[in-house]
C-alpha cells in the first residue's frame, strides 16, 4: 500500500509568494484579534473564583442566577455542566477575597468607631486589613465591625503589642468569594439544598505570575531550538525554523481566540508542544534539503528545495497523519481540557506541516538569495572591498 | 542464530523484562489496593510480593485524577517586613538615646510604604544622629531629610533576603501542620517569590485545609521532665509496644527516649501512660535526603504548662561563637526576659524544649541562670557532621524560633478541590481515549507497512510500557495533561518508524537490495530522528524547568517518552529488522 506516488513533481516553491501573503494576513488578523478581543482566560490566568455546585433537586440556570442575585451576588456567571438532570452548575466571579476597595473603606470607618484605632491599612491583594488599637480589643468585636461593613471574616489575628509606638496590632483576614456564594445561595433555607463540589480559587497575583512564566517558557524554548538548528544545520536555516514556529504558535493561539475555548495552563502546554512538533516537521525537510544540496550541486537552491519537498511529501503526510490519528481517541472521548488540548494539537499538526513547506523553506531561499546578491555586489562596495 | 544475535536480543529482552518488573508496584497500587489505601506506601509495601521492586517506585495519580486539594498560599511578607521595620525603629531609638545619648528620638513607620521616619526632639542633634544611624544601621538607606525628620527605607538586598526567609518559615510551619494530619504523598514547595504550593491528594475539605495551614504558628518553651530519666525505658518494659511498630529505646544526652517510624503508632502507644501535668511530644527526625519527610519520631516527656511563648521573643539569629561553634542568639522582650530568668534559675541542669506547633524542635540543656533577656543556645557536639551542616542546624533552629515569634501571615492565593468521583470518570475517559488512539495507529501501521509495520507496532507497545515504567522509576505523577502527553509521544514515536520505513521503501525503489535498503534506510534516518527528538526534548526540558503542577507532569511524560522512542526506533526495531535481512538472510523486506 502506498499513499503518495514516488515521483511527485508539484511546484511548491513557485506558489510560495501567495502562501506567504495569505499566511501573513491570517497571522496579522489573529494578532489584531488577540489585541482587540483577547483570550477567554481561565481562572488560571485571570484570577477569580469558580465554584461547582450540585443541587439536590431540579433547578434551572435562571433560577440559580436569581437566587444568587437575591443573596447579593451581582456579577456572577452561571453555567450548567453535564446533562440537565445532573443539576450541576459552575458559578464564576471575579475576585478572590471579599475585600474590595469599596468595602475596605467602609470596614475602615467601622473599625475606627470601635475606639482609638490608627494605622488602618487594607492590603487588597492579600485580603487583609491591618490596624493598631490603643487598647486591647475583643476579636469578636473586630469581627462584628468588619462584617457589619459587608465583608466576611475568616480570621482575626492578634499580632501582639506594637513594637513602634504603643498599642496592639491586629489583622483581619477576609473570607473568600466561595463562602459568599455559599451563604448567598443558602439564604432563607434551613439547610442548603446543594453541595459544593469544587472550588477553584486563583488570586490575580498568582494568575499573573503563572501567565508570565508560561510566556517566558515559550520564548526560552523557541530560542533554545533556534540555537540548536543554527548549530546543527546552517545559520540560514535557523530563521526559517523560528518563523515557522512563530507562525504555528500564532495559528494555534488563533484557535483559542476564535473558538473562545478557555486559555489556561494546559493551553500553554499545548503551545509548547506545537513549538516542539513544528520544528520536528521542519527538520525532516531541512535534513533532506541538506542531503540534496550535496547531491545536486550547482542547481539553484529553490529547485533543490522543491525536489526535497516532493521527495519527502509521502513521509511528511504520513508522520503528520499518524500523530493526528493518535489524537482521534482524545477528540472522540476526551472531555473538557483534554478535548481542547487535542483540538489545539490537531490544528498545530496541520499548520505545522504546512508551515514547514511554505514558511520555513521560502525564508531559507530568500536568505540564500540575499546572501548571494550581497556577495555579488561586494566588490562594488568600497567599504568592504 | 549466531552469538552476536543472542547477545543483542538478550539485551532487548532484559530491558523489556525490567520494564515490566518496574511496573509491578504501579499495578498493585492501582488495581489491587482499594482507593482509600492507594496513597499509603506502607500498605502497598506489605501487599507487594517479595520479588517486586520497592513500593516507592510506583506511578502516582495526580490530583486531577484521584481527587484532593491543591492550594497556593501567599505569604504576607509585607506585614512581616513592616513589623521588622518597626522593630528596627525601636532598636535605633534605644541605641541613639540610651547607648549613644545623642538626644531624644522618636520612630514612626509607614505601613503602606514600609518607610521609617525618625524625628529628633531637638533639631540641632539631628545631624549627629543621622550620621550615627546611617553608619550603624546600614541595612537602611536614606530617603529624605527635612529638618529634624529623617526618612529611611529598608535596603533592597535586606528586604529580599527577609522575604525569602519569611517564605521558608511559613513552609516549615505548613509542613509541620500537614504532617500532623497524616497526608501521604504530601508535596509542599516554593513557587515564585512569595508563594507556597501544596498538594494534598485524597483530601476533600478545603475549609479544613485552609484552617490547618492558615493560622499563626505557635511557639512555646516548656521544661522537659528529666526527674525520672528511665521513664520511657520502664514504660517499654512494663507494656511492650505493639508488634511491627518498630518502637525502640534510644538515648539523647543520657536521657532514654522512644524512637519509631510511625507517628500514629508512637502516640497510640504512649497514650494514657503519661503522669498528670505531663505530656509526651514528638520530635521529627528529618530524612537527610528528603528534608520534607520525617524518617522517625522521638519522644519527650514535657510539662503541660507553657510559661513562655513565642510572643515574648523578639529576635533569634544563628552565628559562630568566640569558640567558633555555631550558636543561636535569642532575645526576649521585658516580660519574657523576667520569665526566662525565673525558668532558667529554677531549672538549671534540666532541658528546655523548644516547641513549634506541638513538635519539639530542640531541647537544649540549661547551664546556668540567664538574666537580661538574651540567651545563647550552643549547638552541641557536631558528631561527624561537617561545619556547614553544623551551622545549618543552628540556622534551622533560628528559623523555627522566628517562625513562631514573628508571624508572616499566610493567606490563600488559590484553592482547587477535585472530587474523587470526577477523577475516576476522567481516568476512564482518558484511558479509553489513549487506547483508541493507540489502536488506530497500530492498525494503520500494520496495514500500511505489513511486516515492518508489525515490528513498529511491537516497538510502540514496548514504548508505552517504557514510558509508564520510566515515570514509575522517577516516582512521577500522572496527570490529565500527562495522559495527553503519553498519547502524543506515542504518535511521535510512530513518526520515527514512518521515517525509517519510507526511507527503506525509497532505497528499494532505487533498486537496492533488501540488505542495502535496510542499512541505508536506518543510517540516513538516524540523524533526522535524532535532530527531531532533540528539539522536542529541548521544548520538554524547558517546560519542565518553568512549569508547575500539571504542566510538569506533561513535560515529564514527554521527556521520558522521547528517550524511550529514541531507544525503540533506533535500537529495537533496527535489531529486529536487521536480524531478518542479515541473520536470516531474507532477500525481500516487507515494508
Shortest Cα distance from B121 to chain A (angstroms)? Answer: 15
Average pLDDT, stretch A235-240?
83
CB-CB contact of B169 with B403 (8 Å): yes
Looking at A240-249, A263-272, A346-355, B541-550, which range is the least confident one?
Answer: B541-550
- List, for residues B444-501, the tens digit of each pLDDT value: 999 999 889 999 999 999 999 999 999 999 878 777 777 777 877 887 788 889 989 9
CA dist A119 and B108 (Å) reads 11
CA–CA separation, A218 vs A274, rounded Å? 10
Give the SS3 label for residue A102: helix
Which three-class secondary structure string do you get for B469-511?
Answer: HHHHHCCCEECHHHHHHHHHHHHHHHHHHHHHHHHHHHHHHCC
A183-210 average pLDDT score: 78
Q: Is the pTM of this model over 0.95?
A: no
Question: Cα(A282)–Cα(A351) distance, rounded to whole angstroms?
Answer: 11
Which residue in the set A171, A229, A232 is minimally distant from B79, CB to CB? A171
**Which is more confidently placed, B207 or A224?**
A224
CA distance B62 to B274: 41
Q: Scan residues 216-275 of A and list those with Cβ closer than 8 Å to B.
A: 216-217, 220-221, 224-225, 228-229, 232, 265-266, 268-269, 272-273, 275
Average pLDDT estimate for A118-141 = 83
Q: Which residues pair with A247 in a beta bridge?
A: none
Q: Which residues pair with B302 in a beta bridge?
A: B224, B279
What cell was used for B346?
529554677
Counting beta carbons within 10 angstroms of the beta carbon of residue B567, is it exposed (0 to 12), middle (13 to 18) or buried (19 or more)? middle
Interface test with A, best of B540, B543, B545 (most A CBs within 10 A): B543
Rounded to the nearest 5°, which phi and psi values hold at A266? -65, -35
Q: Which of residues 476-535 of B touch A (CB under 8 A)?
A: 480-481, 483-485, 487-488, 490-492, 494-495, 498-499, 502-503, 505-506, 509, 524, 527-528, 531-532, 534-535
The answer to whether B539 contacts A273, with C-beta atoms less than 8 Å apart, is yes
Each residue's pLDDT tens digit, A136-188: 888 888 988 888 888 888 778 777 666 556 778 888 888 878 888 888 888 87
Quote the CA–CA distance of B8 and B20 in Å, as a whole number: 19
> What is the DSSP pairing of strand B477-478 with strand B60-61?
parallel
More confident residue, B517 or A368: B517
Residue with cell 488599637: A133
Interface of A with B in 42-81 (CB under 8 A): none
Best residue in B488, B507, B523 for a mutation probing chain A (most A CBs within 10 Å):
B488
Strand partners, B188: B198
Going by C-alpha positions, the residue among B453, B447, B445, B443 that lies closest to residue B589 is B453
pLDDT of residue B6: 87
Residue B382's pLDDT is what? 55
**Which DSSP symbol is given to B580?**
I
- Please give, rounded to a whole number of angstroms, the shortest distance from the CA of B248 to a CA of chain A: 41
Q: Residue B363 and residue B351: Cα distance in Å, rounded?
A: 6
**Beta-carbon neighbour count of residue B7 at 10 Å?**
9
* Partners of A199 in the β-ladder: A51
Q: Is-contact B306 B356, C-beta < 8 A?
A: no
Each residue of A247-283: b (16+ CB within 10 Å) or e?
A: bbbbbbbbbbbeeebbbbbbbbbbbbbbbbbbbbbbb
- pLDDT for position A385: 38
The pLDDT tens digits along chain B (591 residues) read 567 888 889 999 999 999 999 999 999 888 888 776 777 777 788 888 889 898 888 888 777 777 778 888 888 888 778 877 887 887 888 888 888 888 888 888 887 788 889 999 888 888 889 988 888 888 888 989 988 899 999 888 888 888 888 888 788 778 777 766 666 556 777 877 788 888 887 777 777 777 777 666 678 889 998 887 788 888 888 888 877 778 888 887 778 888 888 887 888 888 888 888 888 999 888 766 655 567 888 899 998 887 887 777 877 888 888 777 888 888 887 778 888 888 888 888 888 898 877 888 888 888 888 887 788 887 766 566 677 777 877 887 787 777 666 556 777 777 777 665 555 666 777 778 878 888 998 999 999 998 899 999 999 999 999 999 999 998 787 777 777 778 778 877 888 899 899 889 888 988 899 899 999 999 988 888 888 888 888 888 887 887 766 677 778 888 999 999 999 988 999 999 988 888 787 788 887
DSSP for residue A381: -
Question: What pLDDT does A1 receive?
Answer: 63
Amino acid at each position: 500500500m502506498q499513499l503518495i506516488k514516488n515521483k511527485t513533481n508539484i511546484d511548491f516553491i513557485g506558489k510560495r509568494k501567495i502562501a506567504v501573503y495569505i499566511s501573513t494576513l491570517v497571522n496579522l488578523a489573529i494578532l489584531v484579534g488577540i489585541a482587540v478581543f483577547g483570550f477567554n482566560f481561565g481562572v488560571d490566568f485571570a484570577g477569580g473564583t469558580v465554584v461547582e455546585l450540585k443541587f439536590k433537586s431540579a433547578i434551572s440556570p435562571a433560577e440559580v442566577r436569581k437566587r444568587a442575585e437575591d443573596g447579593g451576588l451581582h456579577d456572577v456567571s452561571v453555567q450548567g455542566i453535564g446533562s440537565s438532570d445532573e443539576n450541576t452548575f459552575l458559578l464564576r466571579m471575579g475576585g478572590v477575597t471579599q475585600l474590595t476597595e469599596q468595602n475596605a473603606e467602609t470596614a475602615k470607618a467601622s473599625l475606627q468607631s470601635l475606639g482609638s484605632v490608627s494605622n488602618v491599612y487594607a492590603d487588597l491583594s492579600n485580603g487583609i486589613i491591618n490596624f493598631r488599637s490603643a487598647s486591647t480589643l475583643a476579636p469578636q468585636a473586630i469581627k462584628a465591625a468588619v462584617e457589619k461593613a459587608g465583608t466576611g471574616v475568616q480570621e482575626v489575628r492578634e499580632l501582639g503589642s506594637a513594637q513602634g509606638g504603643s498599642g496592639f496590632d491586629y489583622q483581619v483576614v477576609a473570607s473568600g468569594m466561595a463562602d459568599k456564594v455559599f451563604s448567598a445561595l443558602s439564604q432563607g433555607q434551613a439547610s442548603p439544598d446543594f453541595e459544593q463540589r469544587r472550588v477553584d480559587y486563583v488570586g490575580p497575583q498568582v494568575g499573573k505570575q503563572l501567565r508570565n512564566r508560561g510566556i517566558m517558557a515559550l520564548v526560552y524554548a523557541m530560542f533554545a531550538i533556534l540555537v540548536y538548528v543554527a548549530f546543527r544545520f546552517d545559520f540560514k536555516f535557523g530563521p526559517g525554523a523560528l518563523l515557522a514556529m512563530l507562525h504555528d504558535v500564532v495559528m494555534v493561539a488563533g484557535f483559542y481566540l476564535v473558538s473562545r475555548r478557555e486559555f489556561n495552563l494546559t493551553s500553554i502546554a499545548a503551545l509548547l508542544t506545537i513549538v516542539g512538533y513544528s520544528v520536528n516537521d521542519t527538520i525532516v525537510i531541512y535534513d533532506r534539503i541538506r542531503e540534496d544540496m550535496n547531491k545536486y550541486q550547482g542547481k539553484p537552491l529553490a529547485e533543490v528545495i522543491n525536489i526535497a519537498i516532493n521527495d519527502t511529501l509521502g513521509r511528511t503526510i504520513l508522520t503528520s497523519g499518524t500523530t493526528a490519528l493518535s489524537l482521534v481517541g482524545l477528540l472522540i472521548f476526551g472531555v473538557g481540557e483534554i478535548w481542547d488540548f487535542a483540538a489545539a494539537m490537531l490544528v498545530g499538526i496541520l499548520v505545522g506541516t504546512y508551515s514547514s513547506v511554505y514558511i520555513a523553506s521560502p525564508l531559507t531561499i530568500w536568505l540564500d538569495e540575499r546572501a548571494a546578491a550581497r556577495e555579488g555586489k561586494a566588490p562594488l562596495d568600497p567599504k568592504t572591498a | 542464530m549466531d552469538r552476536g544475535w543472542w547477545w543483542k536480543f538478550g539485551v532487548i529482552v532484559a530491558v523489556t523484562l525490567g520494564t515490566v518488573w518496574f511496573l509491578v508496584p504501579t499495578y498493585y497500587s492501582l488495581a489491587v489496593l482499594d482507593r482509600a489505601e492507594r496513597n499509603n506506601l506502607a500498605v502497598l509495601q506489605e501487599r507487594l510480593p517479595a520479588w517486586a521492586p520497592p513500593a516507592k517506585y510506583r506511578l502516582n495519580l495526580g490530583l486531577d485524577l484521584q481527587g484532593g486539594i491543591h492550594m497556593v498560599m501567599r505569604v504576607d511578607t509585607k506585614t512581616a517586613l513592616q513589623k521588622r521595620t518597626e522593630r528596627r525603629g525601636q532598636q535605633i531609638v534605644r541605641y541613639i538615646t540610651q547607648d549613644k545619648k545623642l538626644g531624644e528620638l522618636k520612630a514612626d513607620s509607614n505601613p503602606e510604604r514600609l518607610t521609617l521616619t525618625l524625628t529628633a526632639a531637638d533639631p540641632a542633634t539631628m545631624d549627629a544622629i543621622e550620621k550615627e544611624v546611617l553608619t550603624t544601621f546600614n541595612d537602611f538607606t536614606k530617603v529624605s531629610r527635612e529638618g529634624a525628620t529623617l526618612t529611611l527605607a529598608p535596603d533592597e538586598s535586606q528586604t529580599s533576603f527577609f522575604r525569602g526567609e519569611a517564605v521558608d518559615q511559613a513552609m516549615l510551619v505548613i509542613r509541620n501542620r500537614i504532617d500532623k494530619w497524616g497526608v501521604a504523598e504530601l508535596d509542599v514547595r516554593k513557587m515564585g517569590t512569595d508563594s507556597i504550593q501544596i498538594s494534598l491528594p485524597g483530601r476533600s475539605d478545603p475549609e479544613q485545609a485552609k484552617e490547618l495551614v492558615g493560622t499563626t504558628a505557635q511557639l512555646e518553651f516548656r521544661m522537659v521532665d528529666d526527674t525520672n530519666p528511665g521513664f520511657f525505658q520502664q514504660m517499654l518494659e512494663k507494656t511492650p509496644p505493639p508488634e511491627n511498630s518498630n518502637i525502640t529505646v534510644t538515648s539523647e544526652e543520657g536521657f532514654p527516649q522512644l524512637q519509631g517510624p510511625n507517628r500514629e503508632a508512637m502516640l497510640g502507644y504512649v497514650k494514657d501512660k503519661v503522669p498528670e501535668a505531663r505530656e509526651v511530644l514528638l520530635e521529627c527526625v528529618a530524612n537527610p535526603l528528603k528534608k520534607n519527610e520525617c524518617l522517625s519520631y522521638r519522644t519527650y516527656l514535657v510539662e503541660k504548662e507553657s510559661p513562655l511563648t513565642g510572643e515574648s521573643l523578639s529576635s533569634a539569629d544563628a552565628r559562630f561563637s568566640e569558640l567558633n561553634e555555631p550558636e543561636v542568639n535569642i532575645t526576649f522582650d521585658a516580660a519574657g526576659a523576667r520569665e526566662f530568668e525565673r525558668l532558667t534559675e529554677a531549672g538549671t541542669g534540666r532541658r528546655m524544649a523548644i516547641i513549634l506547633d506541638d513538635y519539639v524542635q530542640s531541647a537544649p540543656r540549661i547551664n546556668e541562670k540567664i538574666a537580661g533577656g538574651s540567651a545563647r543556645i550552643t549547638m552541641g557536639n557536631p558528631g561527624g557532621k561537617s561545619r556547614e551542616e553544623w551551622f545549618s542546624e543552628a540556622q534551622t533552629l533560628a528559623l523555627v524560633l522566628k517562625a513562631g515569634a514573628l508571624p508572616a501571615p499566610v493567606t490563600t492565593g488559590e484553592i482547587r478541590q477535585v472530587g474523587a468521583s470526577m477523577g475516576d470518570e476522567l481516568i476512564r475517559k482518558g484511558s479509553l481515549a489513549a487506547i483508541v488512539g493507540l489502536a488506530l495507529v497500530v492498525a494503520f501501521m500494520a496495514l500500511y507497512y505489513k511486516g515492518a509495520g508489525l515490528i513498529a507496532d511491537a516497538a510502540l507497545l514496548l514504548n508505552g510500557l517504557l514510558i509508564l515504567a520510566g515515570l514509575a522509576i522517577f516516582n512521577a505523577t500522572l496527570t490529565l495533561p500527562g495522559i495527553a502527553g503519553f498519547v502524543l509521544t506515542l504518535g511521535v514515536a510512530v513518526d520515527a518508524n514512518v521515517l525509517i520505513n519510507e526511507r527503506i521503501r525509497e532505497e528499494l525503489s532505487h533498486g537496492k537490495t533488501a540488505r542495502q535498503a535496510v542499512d541505508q534506510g536506518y543510517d540516513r534516518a538516524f540523524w533526522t530522528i535524532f535532530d527531531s527528538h532533540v528539539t522536542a526534548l529541548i521544548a520538554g526540558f524547558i517546560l519542565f524547568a518553568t512549569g508547575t503542577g500539571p504542566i510538569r507532569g506533561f513535560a515529564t511524560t514527554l521527556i521520558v517518552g522521547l528517550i524511550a522512542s529514541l531507544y525503540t526506533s533506533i535500537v529495537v526495531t533496527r535489531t529486529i529488522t536487521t536480524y531478518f535481512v542479515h541473520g536470516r538472510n531474507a532477500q525481500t523486506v516487507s515494508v
